[in-house]
Amino acid sequence: MARTKKANDEVATDSDSLKLKVAKQAAKLVKDEMVVGLGSGSTANLFIQELGKRVVEEELYIYGVPTSFDSRMMASNSGIPLISLDQCGEIDIAIDGADEVCKKTLSLIKGGGGCHTMEKIVDYHAKEFVVLADEGKLVESLGDKTAVPLEVIPFAYSTVLNKLLDMNTAPAIRSGSGKMGPVITDNGNMIIDVFINIGDAEETETMLNNIPGVLENGIFSKCDKVLVGTSKKVEILKK
């Protein structure tokens, strides 16, 4: 048991190191007077912290648009001035993490934290959408290992489940760890995770969103580039 725990700790530490490496690199992409989309999740949080250091140390003049309550709090604590989506007009760059990245198409699965709806609104609205990932997130085929999250209006959860079952998928309502009842998003909705064959990411993204009651799904078919943390360097993947 001791050996197993040590091995797990080493893997976790190595992954954290790669995340920090890409976060530092991503923070350098932000220029003075930019409006920046602030992603959600562990890697995005590291980016926000690194960007906050630049704001304080270099007196960088920027505004951030958060994609979740957590990213809002992280940005505030890091000294990053915030602006709402309706106030900013346009977003120069959005920087976010991912749960899975297809090496061939740069399509993504996001939403492990349940924030994918607001993430997609901000990320797709930005002039440039940059994704941060460690090499363990790269896959040959999207969706083989990771379920696609769907944010679902509570009123429609049963009809959405039935539709997904009719599509020969394996859906499950996401429940909170150690809590009773389903996970509720920042928007007051439920999450249904589904394993589905993703032949064409854009086509599957549109198909899932066309199910009545689905607000948004976690397939992101649009991405400009991915910063990948490896043991040697940060690699940049572009379409």
Which residues participate in the annotated binding site?
40-43, 96-99, 110-113, 137
Q: Residue 219 half-sphere exposure, CB side, CA atoms within 13 Å? A: 26
What residues are labeled active site? 119
- Separation between Cα atoms, residue 116 and residue 98, nearest integer Å: 10
Angle CA 29–21–128, to nearest 5: 30
